[in-house]
Chain A
Amino acid sequence: MADHKPVQADYDLRTRALVSVLTRKGLVDPESMDAVVEYHESQVGPHVGAGLVARSWVDPDYRRRLLADARAVAREENLTGFQSTDLVAVANTPSVHNLVVCTLCSCYPWSLLGLPPTWYKDSAYRARAVIEPRNVLREFGLDLDDEVEVRVWDSTAEVRYLVIPQRPAGTEGMAVEELAALITRDSMIGAETLAARGQQ
């Protein structure tokens, strides 16, 4: 059985066969299948993580608690979930830049950021982020100063990491909701920083 056509090219046919057999056997509820996709595509996503980050920018006490025990904060706000509950938040500063990777597979805080982007799951990112993070970031468009310390977090266990990007200049006085709208998914993985507002 182990050699059951592991790479038959027709993924669509194979998937439909699997779904059809399992559904006909009563082993899976098709409504649940739809609900899973709806949950991961709509209910959770970067907007959830962005809410935490934006609040950490305006509320120093919240930021302290998030950095000390992000799991407790996520629990208070009902942001737990499979593959996210054991959360650790790490903050970017002018002298430290954080980057998250999973070299062994593609572990990612789903409940806070949704499904991981393709580049995060790519062999190239998984292979290179730990050995040459600065080159990876440069190719992604972020040229860090040599003085900046780069911290790479390899998610080898069940702990999930969320990067708190630096608050962009020019956002003084903005409300939490406005700030949240500026925060990108990739900035919460550490693949980019947020551009200053209103200076261009």
Chain B
Amino acid sequence: MNGVHDLGGMDGFTLPQREENEGPILTEEWQRLLWGLVWSMRVPGVSRGGRAAMEQSIPPALYLGMPYYARWLHRAEQSVLESGLVTVAELDNPDGPLSMPDIPNFEPPGPEIIVNGFLAADFSAEMDVDLPSRFSIGDAVIARNDHPVGHTRAPRYVRGRRGTIHRDHGVHEFQDQLPPGVEREMQHLYSVMFTGQELWGSRGGSRDRIYVDLWDDHLESVA
């Protein structure tokens, strides 16, 4: 979707100061609680509220005004509400009566499972699948000019623009939102190089190169 989260190339923002390197990132207690919650809750049927769900459910004007961790809070609330395991009434009165969930054989994972079995685990998104690539390094390509209503990883600023295949990252699961019932496809993922001038016209730096990771389905070959 052409969502507000797709920020590349937008003008009018003021850069914040670069903060000191060693300062804590989670500066407030609620941020620490929230961060711990988001990554330690692993309940069957509850999505972590992926980027798609999160970004598409926040209206643009609100999104830009929300602090970063407030977006995570929104996402965490939405994911548990959508799962049906928690109700709005319960969140409004957290010390009040609760309906207890009935999830067979469920125990919340402990620290060892969460840290070593999840956060520090060897999760690669590259699939061990032998699939021919549609493009080779050095090929000229055009990022498909498509504006799907669902989540897409092809940012607006590359659509319709001509680039060059710089690197083949191997086979990855296609992350764009697919129609219900359609299975996720495996496709090659590439680093595609675009020149600054191709993307931004006369404003693009003549020695700027922008590299974007795009899947086979985002790309067309140049005749």
A91 at the interface (CB under 8 A from B): no
Q: Which B residues contact A (CB, under 8 angstroms)?
A: 5-11, 13-19, 21, 24-26, 28-30, 32-37, 39-41, 43, 51, 55, 57-59, 62, 64-70, 73-74, 76-78, 80-82, 85-86, 88, 90-92, 94-95, 98, 100-101, 106-111, 113-115, 118-126, 153-155, 157, 167, 169, 172, 175, 189, 191, 199-200, 203-205, 207-215
Residues on A with beta carbons closer than 8 Å to the beta carbon of B18: 117, 119, 140-141, 186, 191-192
In the assembled complex, the Cα of A46 lies from the Cα of B22 at a distance in Å of: 9
Kindly specify which of A52-60, A81-89, A162-170 makes contact with the partner chain: A81-89
B59 (CB) vs chain A CBs: closest residue = A6
Give the complex CA separation of A1 and B7 in angstroms: 27
Contact of A80 among B109, B121, B155 (CB under 8 A): B121
A173 at the interface (CB under 8 A from B): no
With A4-B78, A17-B91, A146-B207 in contact, do A46 and B153 touch (Cβ < 8 Å)?
A: no
What CA separation (Å) do A153 and B119 show in the bound complex? 24
Residues of A in contact (CB 8 Å), total 91
Query: Would you call A127 and B100 a contact (CB within 8 A)?
Result: no
Partner of B208, one of A15, A25, A28, A134: A134
Q: Does A94 sit within 8 A of B, measured CB to CB?
A: no
Shortest Cβ distance from B53 into chain A, in angstroms? 10
Query: Is the Cβ of A131 less than 8 Å from the Cβ of B200?
Result: yes
Say whether A116 contacts B95, CB under 8 Å.
Answer: no
Cross-chain contact of B94 among A1, A16, A157 (Cβ < 8 A): A16
The answer to the question of A139 belonging to the interface, with a C-beta cut-off of 8 Å to chain B, is yes
CB of A63 within 8 Å of the partner chain: no
Chain B contacts for A11, CB-based, 8 A:
28, 30, 67, 69-70, 73
Interface residues of A (CB under 8 A from B): 1-2, 4, 6-7, 11-12, 14-22, 24-29, 31-37, 39-41, 43-44, 46, 71, 75, 80-82, 85-86, 88, 103-106, 111, 114-119, 121-134, 136, 139-141, 146-159, 184-186, 191-192
Smallest CB gap from A183: residue in B = B21
Partner of B123, one of A85, A121, A131: A85
Q: Are B33 and A15 in contact (CB under 8 A)?
A: yes
Q: Is the CB of B62 within 8 A of A6?
A: yes
Let me know if B37 and A28 touch, CB within 8 A.
yes
A92 to B114, CA, bound (A): 35
Cβ–Cβ contact B189 & A159, under 8 A: yes
| Residue pair A104, B51 in contact (C-beta under 8 Å) | yes
Contact assessment for A14 and B77 in the assembled complex, using a CB-CB cutoff below 8 Å: yes
